[in-house]
Amino acid sequence: MNSKKTVKDIIGTVLLYTALIIIAIVCSGPFIWLLASSFKGAEDIYTLSIIPKEFSLQNYREVFSLLSVGTMLWNSVIITVGGILIDIVFSSLCAYPLAKIDFYGKKLVSTSLIATMIIPAAAGLVVNYLTISRLQLMDNFLGVILPNSVAVFSIILLRQSYMAIPGEIIESARIDGAKELKIWRIIMLPQIMPSIATIVIMDFIGKWNTFLWPLIVLDVDKYPVATGLKYLSGQFNYKFGNVAAGTVFAVIPIIIVFIAFQKYYINTMAGAIKG
pLDDT of residue 272: 47
CA distance 96 to 155: 9
pLDDT of residue 271: 52
pLDDT of residue 39: 86
pLDDT of residue 59: 84
Do the beta carbons of residue 141 and residue 222 sit within 8 Å? yes
C-beta neighbour count of 266 within 10 angstroms? 13
CA distance 249 to 268: 29
Q: Provide the 8-state DSSP code for 55.
A: -
CATH label, 58-274, candidates 3.30.420.40, 1.20.1290.10, 1.20.1300.10, 1.10.3720.10: 1.10.3720.10
CA distance 43 to 211: 31
The closest of 112, 106, 95 to 161, measured between CA atoms, is 95
pLDDT of residue 142: 92
pLDDT of residue 144: 92
pLDDT of residue 2: 54
Give the pLDDT of the chain (275 residues) as one tens digit per residue.
455 567 777 888 888 889 988 998 888 888 888 888 888 877 777 777 777 777 888 888 888 887 888 889 999 999 999 999 999 999 999 998 888 888 888 888 888 888 888 888 777 888 889 999 999 999 899 999 998 888 888 999 899 888 888 888 888 888 888 888 888 888 888 888 888 988 998 899 989 988 889 988 998 889 998 888 877 765 445 677 788 888 888 888 888 888 887 777 666 655 544 44
User: Is this structure's pTM higher than 0.75?
Assistant: yes
